[in-house]
Amino acid sequence: MSLPVSHAVDADGIGWDPAGGANGFTPETQAALRAATAALARATGTGPAAAPVKAVVVISAKEKIFIAGADLKWLSRLADAQEAVQMARAGQELFSQLAGLGVPVVCAIHGACAGGGYELALACTWRIASDAKETVIGLPETGLGLIPGWGGSTRLPRLIGAPAAVEHMLRAALVPAARALETGLVDELVPVADLKARAKAAALRLAAEGAPARATPPAPPADFFVAQRKLAAARLRGQPAPLVLLDTVEQGAGLPLDRALALEAEKFGSIAAGEVAKNLIQVFSLKEAGRKANLDAWFPPAAAPAPKAAPAAPFQIIGIIGAGVMGSGIAQWCATRGYGVMLCDTERPALENAIKVIRGLFDDMIRRGQTTHPAAHKAMGSIGVTTNLDDFDGCDMVIEAIVENVAAKQKLFAELSKIVQSDCVLASNTSALPIEELSAGAAGPERILGLHFFNPVSRMSLVELIVGRHTAAPAAAAGLAFAKVLGKSPVICRSSPGFLVTRVLFFYLNEACRLWEEGVPTPVIDAALHEWGWPMGPMRLIDEVGVDVTDFIFGEMEHYFPGRFQRTTICARLLAAGLKGRKNGASSGFYTYESRKELLNPAVAALAAPGPATMKAEAIVDRL
């Protein structure tokens, strides 16, 4: 059995340590890395039996991954705070051993470098990353209810400054290599083909000249941590990790490295074995399992190609019909993933507005560090617009995102199926309508399926892949592969009314409206669910979805589930008053949005029935 970590010394005195031979850190890989590092320590002259090693390069043996962090099963089995502290100290000591070799240590990063993988990189003298799209870097631990506990919470602020480090760690996301270079997470960006050679050159240079002096990052403003605590408490209610991270960074800033690391380990231990961390790790694990979704349960194995057999990028040109919120969002996201996009709408002004919206989405991604100006400019250039369906004859897939109306979608698919090539996959972004109804009258219904994206498309990872009664295995497999190329988490659903999300969500929203009709005020309902942990309350969510869309789906649910779903009337009453929510530029629904902060809409309050003066939040949550 081969070890997951090994080392070798070349003729130029460079020690090569392929520490990323395994996907993530386990006790076994840590032990192997510890042994390899100890052997290199002996070879550098810091131990007995010295040999002429001038520098060390840490590089992965994997083609598309560096190190994906600590094994989540290991983390989830932590029994108590003491065991968690011991785990943190062991990792810190290992990386300090690497940092203390007495020779330059260069980290050559290609592929995912996450969590403990980047904490290892932080312990190195110099960090070089490949410019490949697979290379993403960062410390996402707060998203798992943890803080970086193997030195990341201490070393990153000392490298790039507390404000930038805190922003990165609280965002809990990996960033592309180019963004990592901009923010100082890495020191060089090189073509992947040159990574090994450039890493060796850097190692020899550092061995000959020494490491360049790094400027000490300026201290953060006096009120920085106070402001960050307020933001974290407001945005991430019920999650201790962000506040623990802020305490760790603030308290460790003035300490020597060894004492700061000890503090970090104690802080890590205080939350790592808690219920919040265990639950968030479980949620992450379930999401990752969802990314491996396949069609085995939907088609006989001979009929459905396995996911690995599906093409990595099944399409090149994506057509999108409907330049509203969803159509614009889908177009923008497809462009970010390298597809050519043709966006169609019957109204030229709608297309012009869509281009403005898409530019704004790219600007937002740049601000968030999710892309760069050159990449955004290139993606923007891949989007074309048209008012003519005939321009879709060269598309590999067409997604419709028009009004939720069966007749309109049927007519569109019937026309479209005569224009596109016979192997073009057709998809509907419908949130509730059965696919077989929409494909009635279309040529080739076996190539029609549902791809239900969620708003905002650029931030919501979920997509429902709806298999209709007539959908064939090749179309479904292509749709699944497409969703994965987009970086989404596909959930495969049968074509039944409401699919999965809408069926669950709109029963919830309808019951919230029933509470309102019984006299419970809008802010009381929303506050109860917001405090419980939802990003927003149900009435606020209706405004975002659109009062018109909500009322339409209420009607569909009542039609398909007679006796089980009794439609409330408040959304119809809001529509009659011209209140559509916040969608498509509308400024009023349950709230008004003309100021920078949403305000309770007095026009809606005037429609409310007299009801209970108070209703406990717990009772509202239980009801919903």
Tell whether the model's pLDDT for residue 50 goes beyond 60.
Answer: no
In the 8-state DSSP scheme, what is residue 211? P
Paired tokens of 371: 């892309």
Lowest mean pLDDT among 365-374, 465-474, 601-610: 601-610
Instruction: List % helix, strand, coil for the chain (3-state, nearest 5).
Output: 50, 15, 35
Angle, vertex CA 444, rays to CA 440 and CA 449, nearest 5 = 70
To the nearest whole percent, how much of the chain has pLDDT over 70? 92
Residue limits of CATH 3.40.50.720 in the chain? 307-494
Contacts for 368 with CB less than 8 Å, ≥ 6 apart: 171
Tell whether the model's pLDDT for residue 309 goes beyond 50.
Answer: no
* pLDDT tens per residue across span 173-202: 999 999 999 999 999 999 999 999 999 999
- In the predicted model, what is the mean pLDDT of residues 358-385? 92
Q: Look up the CATH superfamily of 8-279.
A: 2-enoyl-CoA Hydratase; Chain A, domain 1 (3.90.226.10)
Q: How confident is the model at residue 505 (pLDDT cuts 50, 70, 90)?
A: very high
Q: Write out the catalytic residue numbers.
A: 452
> How big is the chain by its Cα radius of gyration, in Å?
27
pLDDT at 23: 62
CA distance 78 to 335: 42
- In the predicted model, what is the mean pLDDT of residues 600-614? 77
Q: Which CATH class is domain 501-623?
A: mainly alpha
Number of helices followed by number of strands (H, E) in the chain: 25, 20
* pLDDT tens per residue across span 64-111: 888 888 888 889 898 999 999 999 999 999 999 999 988 999 999 999
Residue limits of CATH 3.90.226.10 in the chain? 8-279
* CA-wise closest residue to 366 among 381, 376, 379: 376
Tell whether the model's pLDDT for residue 371 goes beyond 90.
Answer: no
Tell whether the model's pLDDT for residue 570 goes beyond 60.
Answer: yes
pLDDT at 16: 43
Tell me phi and psi for residue 156, to 5 degrees: -65, -45
Paired tokens of 9: 């010394």
CA distance 622 to 525: 12
Residue limits of CATH 1.10.1040.50 in the chain? 501-623
The β-bridge partners of 8 are 16
- In the predicted model, what is the mean pLDDT of residues 397-407? 94
* H or E segment to which residue 164 belongs: helix 162-171
Tell whether the model's pLDDT for residue 120 goes beyond 80.
Answer: yes
Length of the chain: 624
The third-level CATH classification (topology) of the domain covering 307-494 is: Rossmann fold (3.40.50)
pTM of the model: 0.74
CA distance 64 to 585: 43
In the 8-state DSSP scheme, what is residue 317? E
Tell whether the model's pLDDT for residue 12 goes beyond 60.
Answer: no
Strands 14-17, 8-9: pairing kind? antiparallel
pLDDT at 345: 96
Q: Is the Cβ–Cβ distance between 504 and 565 less than 8 Å?
A: no
